[in-house]
Amino acid sequence: MPSQYSKTMRILFWIALISSYILAMMPQELAPSFQSLSDKSLHFIAFAVLTLLLNSSYRMPWWKSVLYLLFYATFIEFSQTFTPNRCAEGLDIVADGIGIALGFVLYAGYKKLEAICEKH
């Protein structure tokens, strides 16, 4: 990936990471409503996007990405125990883990597409 894209992806990753934390810490009554999506779907989507952005931004072994993102997922759940009208749920971390797996599938597809485009 050209360096200008990597820099852009890093900025997008940090914006997504910080935004996801802010949204996760908002009291339920203040948080935006995504009525058509369940809480677990939101976790799943957020962590798929974070995984895709993290791996597009930084070079690291896949297991480090998983470790960092699962730590972040656990940190969010721990932090929510101190937030009014929020509580920690183990199933949120499971949804996050499934989102991480999807993020890796999307990233692998992106890399294959990138390789095909570079050949032409």
> What pLDDT, in 10s, does the model give residues 57-79?
998 999 999 999 999 999 999 99
Average pLDDT (17-38) is 81
Average pLDDT, the chain: 89
Average pLDDT (9-33) is 87
Does the predicted TM-score (pTM) go above 0.75?
yes
3: pLDDT strictly greater than 80: no
Report helix, strand and coil shares of the chain as percent, to nearest 5: 75, 0, 25
Confidence band, pLDDT 50/70/90 cuts, at residue 36: confident
Selection from 9, 120, 3, 5 nearest residue 54 by Cα = 9
Q: How many residues are listed for the chain in this entry?
A: 120
- Per-residue pLDDT of 96-117, as tens digits, reads 999 999 999 999 998 899 888 8
Scanning 26-89, the segments in alpha helix (DSSP H) are: 39-57, 62-80
5: pLDDT strictly greater than 70: no
Selection from 56, 65, 74, 70 nearest residue 113 by Cα = 56
Q: Which has the minimum average pLDDT: 3-17, 27-41, 83-97?
A: 27-41
